Each structure stands twice: as structure tokens, then as C-alpha cells.
Amino acid sequence: MTAKHDLIEYLLRLGDSALIQGQRLCEWCGRAPALEEELALMNVGLDLVGQARNWLDYAAELLDDGRDADQLAFRRDERAYRNLLLVEQPNGDFAVTLLKQFLYDAWHFQVLHGLTGSSDERVAGIAAKALKEVTYHLRRSGEWVERLGDGTEESHRRMLAAVRELWRFTVELVNGDEVERRLLDAGIAPDPQEVAAGWQAKVADIFASATLPLPEPASHFYLSGRRGLHTEHLGLILAEMQFLQRAYPDASW
């Protein structure tokens, strides 16, 4: 694999994960438990969509095959997506949504923090801007996990159920691959082991405050978003998200 190919793969991972998580959050529009929470979820979702555009814009430039960020977002098939398995999981109840957001935020913060020192100036610039937003995302989702986990008997029960449902998908957050290691050697991406250690420390801290038992680290899952092997949920998201672009290609207002 060339360094350029590795960078494109990595940009797609970052962009696709932000895009799909943003799409999931926007599904709460009109359905959140309180108006303030609906606005907060939409704002986080829009932040992530904006970050996704920045990553996909850069990926499109490197691909140089005539596609732009919109076409990468709306014209690829499921197997071409490189997002984390975690973010494509259904919203579930509010506990599932907030725990999923926290697990993603804790990883996302570590990755972006590492990328601010990237030898690729474009990557470092995008990461620095995104890090300001994700710092807030992480603080907010972490506080919600603490509030629900250490709240009422019902909220604690729901958080325990959310952990059981989502924990297996954290395997991609703590296990790097050859693409990441080669980009580390090139000075472009952070050390996946350092990202994993930072993520584990943050999760352990918040779970302790939330009185939630910390499961053993996830070690294996038979699917891999990095390789385009997704759960059945991604296809359903894309069917809705891509409908207009596929039904009316290149339409404009």
C-alpha cells in the first residue's frame, strides 16, 4: 500500500464515522425527551457533519477521480464505507444514545488530540478545529453518563443495559491496524496504543463516577468497519440518507 492510499483510507474512516454518528443524532429531531436536549443533540450532529465534510473534501482531492465530498457521502455503497461499527448502531433509548456518544467522543478526542501534531498540515488543521467542538461533546456526554448511571434505579438499569448492548463494538476503538501503524511511522497519525490507553482511562474514570462496572476490554468481533464489513444497520441508514441523491443525481435547488 502507498502512503497516499493509507491516508485516503484513514480520512474515510474519520469522515464516515463522523457522518454516520451525525446522521444518527439527527434522527432524534422531534423525538428527544426535552427541547433543550433536542437542540443539543442537533448541534452535536451538525458539528460532526461539518467535520465529515472537511475529512471527505480532503479524501476527494487525494482520490482525484472526479468525485467530491457530497458524492463520497451519497454515492458509495455500504461496503465502501469505513466508519466505526459503534456509530451505525440504532439510537435505542436515551441511555443508549448518550453512552454511544460518550464512547465515541472519548475515542474521537484522543484521535484528534494526536492529529493536531500531524506532519500533514491539512490533517493537523482540520483536527485542531474539530478538537474544540469535540472537547465540548465529550464533556457533555460524559456528564450525562454520570447523571444517568448514578441517578435513579431506572436510569441506572438502562445504562447497564446500554453497556451490555454496545460494549462489543468498542473493539475498534482499542485495536489499531496496519494502516494506522504505517501512518504513525510517517508522522501523520497518532499511536493507536496511546489512543486506546487514553480512551480506556477516560472511560474508566466516567464509569467509576457513574457507578457502572467496567467490562473487560473487547478483544474480537467478526465484523470490521475498517474493511467495509458492517452490521445490517448501516444499509438502512444509507437507504434513507442517500435516497434523494440517488433518485435525482446531481439535482440542484
Per-residue pLDDT of 172-198, as tens digits, reads 999 999 999 999 999 999 999 999 999
Report if residue 109 sits inside a domain: yes
Report if residue 59 sits inside a domain: yes
CA distance 176 to 171: 9
Report if residue 252 sits inside a domain: no
Q: Classify 224 as helix, strand or coil.
A: strand
Nearest to 21 by CA among 179, 177, 195, 166: 166
CB-neighbour burial class of residue 54 (10 A; exposed 0-12, middle 13-18, buried 19+): buried
Q: What is the DSSP letter of 218?
A: P
How far is residue 160 from each of residues 106, 149, 223, measured CA to CA in Å? Answer: 18, 8, 24
Report if residue 112 sits inside a domain: yes
Report if residue 104 sits inside a domain: yes
The tens digit of pLDDT for each residue in 221-232 reads 889 999 999 999
Report if residue 224 sits inside a domain: yes
Q: Which domain holds residue 79?
A: 3-247
* Percent of the chain predicted with pLDDT > 70: 99
Give the total number of structural domains in the chain.
1
Residue 159's domain is classified under what CATH number?
1.20.1260.10
Report if residue 233 sits inside a domain: yes
Burial 155-181 (b: 16+ CB within 10 A, else e): bbebbeebbebbbebbbbbbbbeebbe
Most distant CA atoms of the chain, gap in Å: 55
Report if residue 162 sits inside a domain: yes
